[in-house]
Structure 1
Amino acid sequence: MSDFLQQLQGFLAASPTPYHATANMAQSLQRAGYTFLPESEAWQMQAGGRYYTTRNGSSLVAWTLPKTAALETSGLRMVGAHTDSPCLKVKPKPELHRNDYHQLGVEVYGGVLLNPWFDRDLSMAGRVSYLNAAGQRCQNLIDFQRPIAVIPSLAIHLDREANKNRAINEQTYLPVILGQGAEAHDFKQMLTAQLAAQGVTDVTDILEYEVVLYDTQPPACIGMDQAFIASARLDNLLSCFIGLTALLEADSDMGTLLVCNDHEEVGSMSASGAQGPMLKQVLERMLPEPEARARMLAHSVLISADNAHGIHPNFADRHDENHGPLLNAGPVIKINANQRYATNSETSALFRHLAQLDGLPVQSFVVRSDMGCGSTIGPITAAELGVRTLDVGVPQFAMHSIRELAGVEDCTTLTTILRRFYTTTEV
């Protein structure tokens, strides 16, 4: 297995939540010599400098400034992705005790494909706010790592229509089972015990938490020739990893930027989402003078990287016959006449040209004309900034499932194209 795939699998396994993904990307940036600029402090930047900042612990912007060229005349080569994935989130008062079983109530985050969540070995991870022994308010990430929960399916004998017409009630079907017995499980006590197991032993009160369920099955390369990678959260941690890898490998003389926003799966309207002000505020601090910043944006391009729907051989009729992307046949340019994707002919031509320079394949995706089209952070960011934008992505199967599938070759191909994008002088 290549170093790239080993690092990718490690990143996916270590990033069960947007908070963990952001922390892991921040560590990679620090190792590469990027300087952390807290939003709450004054920023000092210099030509050729490498920097990053975070918001809410779940969104990140990393950038390098040109070594010699003026930023307002050379622009930025920007790549965008998102850190969140559809999942099940533990409710604020989750404890249930029914028929001798201890359960947790959960809330659905995003457009989850629910059926695959049944009969999986589930763990929990997230962020916890607490008071320490000194009365200070603190935060810490947690990850139980081991399987501690399950949502068992109802036996076919008790639901004869399960394979024909099964509707899942999110309120009643999805509470997870933790154990059984007369002694109730207090969820905040569970969090306190987990923090202690991670070395945080001075917790006096759990104030709040954001905790999600996740599948403990690790990422893997599968298939007779191991041509596919299977994992949770490929949409869209795969694009985060590819964008980060390309940024760190580019060693560009140009201005480069990676933005990874939270909350794309629920509409992006938040302080740390793409429809929020985070990226705009970073650019304002990068170039405070409005006229210079406007010129910079006019010279800039954003590639929004979010996975695409590969043509499923069992459901080929769900695709436009001329626009069904194949796995391992190249990254996909996403196009929609109604601007659900931000691609236009100019930005699409740029991406194709970059791929041609390395002899790499590119595909196109257009949704069937009689079906609705999803969207990405691309149109949102384009509308917020007025920057030229296109939407691309690695084709995949089982989008929004607890375990998704993508082509190994597409991952390396998109990394190569984005690396060249970061170093090109002509955009």
Structure 2
Amino acid sequence: MPTPDAAARLDHVAGLCDFIDASPSPFHAVQTAVAALEAAGFSELRETDPWPGSGRHYVRRAGSLAAWSTEAVGDLPSSAGFRVLGGHTDSPNLRIKPNPDVTRLEWDQLGVEVYGGPLITTWLDRDLGLSGRVAIRDAEAPGGIAQRLVLVDEPLLRVAHLAIHLDRASAQEGVRLNEQQHLAPVWGASAGAGPSLRAFLADRLEVPERDVLAHDLMTHDLTPATRFGRDADLVAAPRLDNLATAYAGVQALIAADAALAGDGGRIPLLVLFDHEEIGSMTDRGGFSSFLPTLLERVVLSRGGDREDLHRALADSLVCSADMAHATHPNYIERHEPEHRIAINGGPVLKVNAKGRYASDAPGAAAFALACEQAGVPMQRFVVRSDLPCGSTIGPMSAALTGVVTVDVGAPMLSMHSAREMCGADDPAMYVAALTAMLAPS
């Protein structure tokens, strides 16, 4: 596999920006990924239906998605192993409460909860939109309930900062925010005379207000993803953690399926989980039955049994892909001195002796070979020994499946900010390395 050329690098940075702009919520990220998969010949399966033994397929569970190609392995036995690429669709943000309408003085506000671990101050004084899904009454839908995606991609909400004149200590001591008291965004000044959120949603969805039954809604930054810098060699965008992986994973699966062309040794499979930022302990998170059940059903659909499943797992590899911390030039002391990570320096292998990352020698070697095959450099990240280490879906997937697992990522700064940054060359190198992981030569 050749090193990504200049045209490929331009294509992938533009593709990443488009993917992010179209995906303000996990539900929209799944929708965006599905569009790319269907254009490449993948078709949808439902968990309630019987599954065929061959083909290019995807299945979605709310904000989670999995896709695979048994066409890639041709006539290999049902005990053939998997090459699994895992990531997640969710990002830290402010989520709307079930009964959100608040009126204080003349201000119309919405109650919010903090989702994940965002850098809260970066959400202040930004134009925010609203996105997610709404459950509505529909007598013709299963159970009498239909789900509709909502995207209000216009200036609707704003969390207003307190003027420094009223909190001069914040200049020296930093801003201190109470999540209950200080984060409710304003969206009007009618003193409660304007429409409620439920009425607003009903109008957008063109349904009676009484038919709006529930919602999973969140705020998103409206500034589009863009290249910046003197040489336009950097990218600023919301939700790089972890939509950069979601984009790269979809592109890698499509490219791997084409590269294998029915002559692969393992089944390439992509899984993107929701709820990683809140611990993954949900019906569609990384600690759910989603991946183990999926692997079992693929084996069974190909005529295998439980023995074949366990043989397949023993011959599989999971690549847990999430974004990685580049070394910050203003905070060099917060990084491990012998493991500097450079923007535009290539994909990152992540290692932690306490098991916060799942990488061990066999998995690390497999990723090193993938980067070598892809013609891209590989960097190695280790957190400082005196600092705590974050985690990923990697350790969970390893524990649930017993499969050798490696944790990798792409370098970035400002992780969990409302607006993050990465290098403009890194998306193409990330795609190339992940493609080689799914389709090793």
When the two structures are superposed, what TM-score results if normalisation uses the length of structure 1? 0.95
Shift of 1:258: 0.2
The answer (yes or no) to whether the contact 1:229–1:407 under 8 Å persists in 2 is: yes
Cα separation, partners in 2 of 1:283 and 1:358, compared to 1, 3 Å? closer
Shift of 1:203: 6.4
Q: Distance in 2 between matches of 1:280 and 1:164?
A: 50
Residues 8-407 of structure 1 correspond to what in structure 2 (within 5 A)? 8-46=16-54, 49-55=55-61, 57-65=62-70, 66-73=73-80, 75-132=81-138, 136-165=144-173, 166-182=175-191, 183-196=193-206, 201=207, 204-250=210-256, 251=258, 252=260, 253-254=263-264, 255-288=267-300, 289-407=305-423
The answer (yes or no) to whether the contact 1:76–1:301 under 8 Å persists in 2 is: yes
Shift of 1:336: 0.3
The answer (yes or no) to whether the contact 2:325–2:412 under 8 Å persists in 1 is: yes
Q: Distance in 1 between matches of 2:228 and 2:78?
A: 44
SS of aligned partner of 2:172:
coil
The answer (yes or no) to whether the contact 1:121–1:149 under 8 Å persists in 2 is: yes
Shift of 1:180: 0.4
Identity %: 40
Q: Distance in 2 between matches of 1:350 and 1:359?
A: 14
Shift of 1:71: 4.4
The answer (yes or no) to whether the contact 1:239–1:305 under 8 Å persists in 2 is: yes
**CA deviation vs aligned residue, 1:257-286 (integer Å, no higher than 9, x gap):** 000001100111111011000111111111
Which piece of structure 1 moves more, 4-13 or 83-92? 4-13
The one-letter amino acid of 1:268's match is: S
Shift of 1:204: 4.7
The one-letter amino acid of 1:275's match is: F
Shift of 1:160: 0.5
Q: Distance in 1 between matches of 2:221 and 2:349?
A: 30
Q: Distance in 1 between matches of 2:31 and 2:98?
A: 24
The answer (yes or no) to whether the contact 2:320–2:392 under 8 Å persists in 1 is: yes
The one-letter amino acid of 1:361's match is: P
The one-letter amino acid of 1:171's match is: Q
Shift of 1:117: 0.4
The answer (yes or no) to whether the contact 1:132–1:204 under 8 Å persists in 2 is: no
Does 1:7 find its partner at 2:15? Answer: yes
Q: Distance in 2 between matches of 1:7 and 1:358?
A: 19
Shift of 1:163: 2.3
Q: Distance in 2 between matches of 1:347 and 1:120?
A: 41
**CA deviation vs aligned residue, 1:329-363 (integer Å, no higher than 9, x gap):** 11110000011000011111111122123431111
Which piece of structure 1 moves more, 293-302 or 246-255? 246-255
The answer (yes or no) to whether the contact 2:238–2:420 under 8 Å persists in 1 is: yes
The answer (yes or no) to whether the contact 2:79–2:308 under 8 Å persists in 1 is: yes
SS of aligned partner of 1:325:
coil
Consecutive unaligned residues of structure 2, counting only runs of 5 or more, are 1-6
The answer (yes or no) to whether the contact 2:347–2:433 under 8 Å persists in 1 is: no
SS of aligned partner of 1:287:
helix
Q: Distance in 1 between matches of 2:326 and 2:437?
A: 24
Q: Distance in 2 between matches of 1:419 and 1:322?
A: 28
The one-letter amino acid of 1:356's match is: E
The answer (yes or no) to whether the contact 1:133–1:204 under 8 Å persists in 2 is: no
Moved over 6 A (4+): none
What's 2:426 paired with? 410
Q: CA RMSD in A?
A: 1.5
Q: Distance in 1 between matches of 2:82 and 2:229?
A: 39
Equivalenced residue count is 417
Q: Distance in 1 between matches of 2:18 and 2:423?
A: 17
